[in-house]
Amino acid sequence: MTRESDRDELASGYVLGTLSAAQRREVEAQLLQDAELRARVQALEAQLLPLTRLAEPVEPSPSLWPRIQASLNFAGNSLRQGWSWWTSLGLWRGLTAGGFATAAVLAFVLLTQQPADTRFVVVLAAPQDQSPGWVVQASTNRQLKLIPLQALEVPADKSLQFWTKLDSWSGPKSLGLVKPGQALNVALDQLPPLEANQLFEITLEPYNGSPLNRPTGPVLHIGRAVKVM
């Protein structure tokens, strides 16, 4: 049983923020089952809340809300109940750090954590540093969803264009224009059904897209479809 003075000290340290990471984890675990401790923490939080006004407001960058929204859409309503791996800070930090290993881990996590109806997954990574920029999910081989993992800055006179190519095709086919930081649903009406190893890429094109029936600008992100077992 935790003594009263211990409870007070834990609650104070937790709310003020002076505890170590390990102590914070212990308190968070204890909070789940110790109603007394919970009451103390809540009382102190309420008393000290006005102190949050001592921090000057900071305007968030315009890309932050789209990023939150993308994470929500990505998580999907069916997963609303549980905590989702892709919303964790660690993953985001890993993604911005880049590296092919991250892309591989992401692909693995996608494969093992996806809703059962996901048939194909593609991680689109930057060719230079392999940092992942987009994920494609397909629950049928006629319909896919492109989901942003980062908000790209695109010059006002440029557009992002989404392409796919099968090895047997002579060149890529356009799947349409993409807005940075926004998810896109694509129906493969005019194209053959999705196949494993199918290539997907996002290129930087003139405003409103490539003037030709093929990409003309640099590849920003590229990846191949993996079939979910």
Q: Give me the residues that bind another protein (CB under 8 A), please.
A: 9, 12, 15-21, 24, 38, 42, 44-61, 64-65, 67-69, 71-72, 75, 77, 80-84, 87-89, 92-93, 96
Nearer to another protein, 17 or 211 (CB): 17
Nearer to another protein, 47 or 208 (CB): 47
Q: Minimum Å distance from CB 5 to another protein?
A: 10
Nearer to another protein, 43 or 196 (CB): 43
Distance in angstroms (rounded) separating the CA atoms of residues 130 and 170: 25
Nearer to another protein, 86 or 163 (CB): 86
Q: Minimum Å distance from CB 219 to another protein?
A: 26
Q: Minimum Å distance from CB 9 to another protein?
A: 8
Structure tokens of 143?
């319909």
C-alpha distances (whole Å) from 113 to each of 34, 101, 132 are 32, 18, 18
Nearer to another protein, 61 or 190 (CB): 61
Distance in angstroms (rounded) separating the CA atoms of residues 133 and 220: 8
Q: Minimum Å distance from CB 159 to another protein?
A: 26
Closest by CA to 26, choosing from 46, 5, 45, 6, is 6
**Beta-strand runs (E) in the chain:** 120-125, 132-138, 143-148, 158-165, 173-178, 184-187, 199-206, 219-224, 226-227
Strand partners, 163: 174, 201
Q: Minimum Å distance from CB 4 to another protein?
A: 13
Q: Which amino acid is at 11?
A: A
